[in-house]
Every structure is written in structure tokens, then in C-alpha cells.
């Protein structure tokens, strides 16, 4: 008898997620956005809202990491629990971003641009190390849980 998909155990690949590095990149991008927005005229707040969007994206990524660790630490982690957690978290982040964008329009739209750019940064910062490791021919452990011995979490820091 097969296990229904929603009741199947979760298996997450170990990824090279480094929130401190992402925080530094977000801070630098926020500073650049504020400088560029101020130089463009009375648009300083667009840069500030852009930074808020980056911060919301980073908060979401850290919350994803924590929820994955807590859910997979259980005896029987279920996809349903992860899906509900993700949907709730994304709903809250989206409502906050949209509320800021609407209340402070047109400059508040910077929040949405910040959220979108953060997703690109997150994908690049996690996919590039894995791609590099695959190209060098090293074994990639796709069944390791985050923080497990030998996982990509313990990769040398740049």
C-alpha cells in the first residue's frame, strides 16, 4: 500500500543558506537604493521601502529555515504541516507588503520590488554553491537534513 502524498515524510536537501551573508548583501543594496533614490530627487522613501522589502524577504527566509528544522525534527514530519506553515507565513508577509505598498503609494511600491529582488538573491545564493559543487564532481547529499554532519551548512565561509 502506498502512502498518500500529503502524508509522505519530508526529505529536504541540505542547502547553503547563510542568513548573515544575505543580511550584508541586503544592507548594501538598501544603502545603494537609498542613495540612488535620493539622487533622483524626492524619492528617498522609495529606497527605504525597498530596504523594508528586502528585510521582509530575509525574515521570511529565516522563518522558513526555522520551520523546516522544527518540522523535520519531529518523529513523523508531514507535508501538510509544512504547506500550512508556508501558506500562513506567505500570506502574512504578502499582506504586510501590500499594505505598505497601498498606504504609501507610489513610493511604497519599493517594498514589492525589494521582496522580488530578495527572492532572486535567495535563489542565487543557495543554487550557485550547489551548482558549483555538482560541477566539481563532489557528491551532493540530497537526503541530509539541515545542520546534519557533512551537510552544505558546514561549508567553509567566504
Element (H, E) at 2: none
pLDDT in tens, 69-109: 887 777 777 778 888 888 999 999 999 999 999 999 999 99
Q: Is 38 helix (H, G, I), strand (E, B) or coil?
A: helix
- Hey, is 9 helix, strand or coil? strand
The model's pLDDT over 117-140, given as tens digits with 9 standing for 90+, comes to 999 999 888 888 778 777 887 655
Task: For residues 45 and 107, give the distance between their C-alpha atoms in angstroms, rounded to a whole number.
Answer: 6
Gap between the Cα atoms of 76 and 121, Å rounded: 32
CB 116 within 8 A of CB 138: no
User: pTM of the prediction?
Assistant: 0.73
Instruction: Note whether 54 and 29 are within 8 A (CB).
Output: yes
| Residue 78 β-bridge partners | 9
Q: Which range, of 30-39, 55-64, 76-85, averages the lowest pLDDT?
A: 76-85
Measured distance between the N- and C-terminal CA atoms of the chain, rounded to whole angstroms: 47
Kindly state the cell numbers that stand for 133: 559543487
Distance, CA of 34 to CA of 46 (rounded, Å):
7
Q: How far apart are CA 37 and CA 48, in angstroms?
A: 9
- pLDDT of 85: 87
Amino acid at each position: 500500500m502506498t502512502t498518500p502524498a500529503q502524508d509522505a515524510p519530508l526529505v529536504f536537501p541540505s542547502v547553503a543558506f547563510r542568513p548573515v551573508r544575505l543580511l550584508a548583501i541586503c544592507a548594501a543594496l538598501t544603502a545603494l537604493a537609498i542613495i540612488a533614490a535620493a539622487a533622483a530627487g524626492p524619492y528617498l522613501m522609495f529606497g527605504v521601502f525597498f530596504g523594508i522589502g528586502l528585510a521582509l524577504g530575509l525574515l521570511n527566509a529565516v522563518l522558513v529555515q526555522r520551520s523546516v528544522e522544527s518540522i523535520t525534527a519531529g518523529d513523523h514530519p508531514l507535508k501538510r504541516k509544512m504547506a500550512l506553515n508556508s501558506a500562513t507565513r506567505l500570506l502574512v508577509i504578502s499582506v504586510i507588503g501590500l499594505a505598505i505598498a497601498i498606504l504609501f503609494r507610489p513610493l511604497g511600491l519599493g517594498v514589492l520590488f525589494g521582496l522580488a529582488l530578495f527572492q532572486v538573491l535567495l535563489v542565487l545564493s543557495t543554487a550557485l554553491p550547489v551548482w558549483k559543487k555538482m560541477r566539481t564532481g563532489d557528491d551532493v547529499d540530497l537526503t541530509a537534513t539541515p545542520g546534519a554532519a557533512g551537510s552544505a551548512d558546514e561549508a567553509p565561509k567566504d
